[in-house]
Amino acid sequence: MSERRLADLLAMWRIRAFEEKVRDLRTENPVGGPIVGSVHLCVGQEAVPVGACDVLEPHDALFATYRGHGWALARGVPARALFAELAGRATGVNGGRGGSAYFTAAEYGFHGENSIVGAGAPIACGAALAGRHDGSNRVAVSVFGDGAMNQGAVHEAMNFAAALSLPVVFVCENNRYSELTPIADMVRNPRLADRAAAYGIPGHRVDGNDVEAVRFHVRDALEVAREGGGPTLLECMTERLAGHYIGDAQTYRQPGELERIGRREPIARLREGLLADGVPAAELDAVERGARAEMASAAERALAAPLADPATAREHLYA
Ligand SMILES: Cc1ncc(C[n+]2csc(CCOP(=O)(O)OP(=O)(O)O)c2C)c(N)n1
Ligand SMILES: [Mg+2]
């Protein structure tokens, strides 16, 4: 049991160390540094991708948002190719043409981030429908935020998936904010999972800072989907410990809020659990050190690669 929890801890530390390295590279020289442009970190939300991706099959299709670095890593995309993509290198996962918000690596079942809020949900329905015809028994997983729950495209996708009993798992990462606006100001009923009943599908509110709870619910939803039972909505309650984007001054936070939410963040919580089970602190510290060393070396190697050739800018575009 401790073994699996240690593996979860490492997987979360890999994401956090990646994101902290990205933050450092992005802020060290905001205009001329290795990473430019808008970057959205998932610090604090690591348990959702780690728990969910652990139970996906390689042929399942995952669709994430611009806050998707952690999902790409949890799907197995190499950190070096992601750093290279962020820094516009030819060796990036998309040849340095996409950047932070457009990671795509279909060979890892990672069918892309998307910067249009809610746009991944209908695309996931398409992947699920295709899976029904190609005999792959693929499940499509659509990840989006609490704010996206109010997008027409997400309502349409959930209804479409429900009506056709499509194998889709809708994973809402409810971090309580849409950009700078609290979800409480945008909806009357803050329990977003309740909406599932209106579509006639199962809906669960999940402790999204607990890897084991996420794994349990995603595994269950995948089983229902593979057996022909159709989609499930999982509302994973989590917190982003960083700003909406790098540079967000977070003036909308309540006094003491970051400190409060920091006490229930997933890495600290799992660490406490492991300590209580008798795992020595030195072993847990080594997990963090290992993840940080891996990411430092991946970033260094990525930055040693040549920049993308501007002549390739129009490759992979279609109209
Ligand atoms: C269709 C569309 N509308 C508005 C935006 C601007 N926008 C970018 S991120 C964002 C907030 C989305 O919040 P949420 O879905 O909760 O995701 P989070 O950023 O919290 O992960 C908005 C409104 C956009 N990118 N696309
Ligand atoms: Mg949100």
Model confidence over 36-95: pLDDT tens digits? Answer: 889 999 999 999 999 999 999 999 999 999 999 999 999 999 999 999 999 999 999 999
Contacts of 16 (CB under 8 A, 6+ apart): 43, 46, 267, 291
How many domains does the chain contain in total?
A: 1
CATH number at residue 119: 3.40.50.970
Question: What domain range includes position 56?
Answer: 2-302
Asked if residue 51 is part of any domain, the answer here is yes
Contact of 53 with 15, CB cutoff 8 Å: no
Burial of 83 (0-12, 13-18, 19+ CB in 10 A): buried
The overall pTM is greater than 0.85 = yes
Asked if residue 314 is part of any domain, the answer here is no
Which two three-digit tokens encode residue 128?
């699920």
Which two three-digit tokens encode residue 158?
């959930």
Stretches where the chain sits below pLDDT 50 are: none
Asked if residue 159 is part of any domain, the answer here is yes
Asked if residue 195 is part of any domain, the answer here is yes
Model confidence over 296-319: pLDDT tens digits? Answer: 999 999 999 999 999 998 898 887
Ligand 2 centroid to residue 281 C-alpha, Å: 33
Asked if residue 90 is part of any domain, the answer here is yes
Asked if residue 308 is part of any domain, the answer here is no
Half-sphere exposure of 183 (CA within 13 A, CB side): 19
- The minimum-distance atom of ligand 1 relative to the CA of 42 is 21
Residues with CB under 6 A from ligand 1: 67, 115-117, 144-148, 173, 175, 177-179, 244
Ligand 1 centroid to residue 166 C-alpha, Å: 25
Contact of 168 with 140, CB cutoff 8 Å: yes
- Cα separation, 163 vs 238, in Å, equals 29
- Cα separation, 248 vs 239, in Å, equals 15
Asked if residue 119 is part of any domain, the answer here is yes
